[in-house]
Amino acid sequence: MSARRELTVAAAEMLACRGYADTDEHTPEDEELLAELAAVAAAVPDAASPTKLADYWIAQRQDAYERSIPTWTCDCGAKFKVFPRWPNDEEFHRVADDGLVGEFAGEIRRNSQGGLKHSSDCPCCGKSFIDTITRQADPQMSLF
Ligand SMILES: [Zn+2]
């Protein structure tokens, strides 16, 4: 086994221990994970130990997840990442320059029937999130 292969296998086992991967059975996903780890190891010279390599892989996954969260744009042009939060609330975060989730910007809370309990205001224009979302969802209202 090459040193690179040993490194990626050790990192994959570490990820399995931490619950990020399942390497009990030899599956095509294992090879996929090993290929991803090998790509990280090749791109990041600092990822020279299994722990560091596993950490870089997790960080890349986290970044990809954050970038994949849809962005909502307020009428004023401010952009937010919106997370659904159990049971029927939403959390608004600013979008960082690199497309990642930025600082907390506000929230919408609803009661168990879905009725509005609280809506924060857009920190840029001061209009409530729920008013803007409701207006955007109703094309007739957009005429006014
Ligand atoms: Zn706004």
User: Side-chain half-sphere of 82: how many Cα atoms within 13 Å?
Assistant: 18
Expressed in angstroms and rounded, the spacing between residue 131 Cα and the centre of ligand 1 is 11
Please answer whether residues 22 and 13 qualify as being in contact, where contact means their C-beta atoms are separated by less than 8 angstroms: no
Look up the pTM and report it. Answer: 0.73
**pLDDT tens figures, 79-118:** 999 988 888 899 999 999 889 999 999 999 999 888 999 9
CA 90, CA 111: separation in Å to the nearest integer? Answer: 12
- The chain-wide mean pLDDT, for the chain, equals 90
Expressed in angstroms and rounded, the spacing between residue 128 Cα and the centre of ligand 1 is 8
Contacts of 62 (CB under 8 A, 6+ apart): none
Query: So what's the pLDDT on residue 2?
Result: 87
Strand pairing category for 89-95 and 71-73: unpaired
Expressed in angstroms and rounded, the spacing between residue 91 Cα and the centre of ligand 1 is 15
Expressed in angstroms and rounded, the spacing between residue 73 Cα and the centre of ligand 1 is 8
Percent of the chain with pLDDT over 70: 92
Instruction: Break the chain into its structural domains and give their ranges.
Output: 3-67, 69-143
Over range 113-140, report the average pLDDT: 93
The pLDDT of residue 41 is above 90 = yes
Contacts of 96 (CB under 8 A, 6+ apart): 102
Query: So what's the pLDDT on residue 54?
Result: 96
- Check residues 139 and 47 and name the one with the higher pLDDT: 47
**pLDDT tens figures, 53-80:** 999 999 999 999 999 998 999 999 999 9
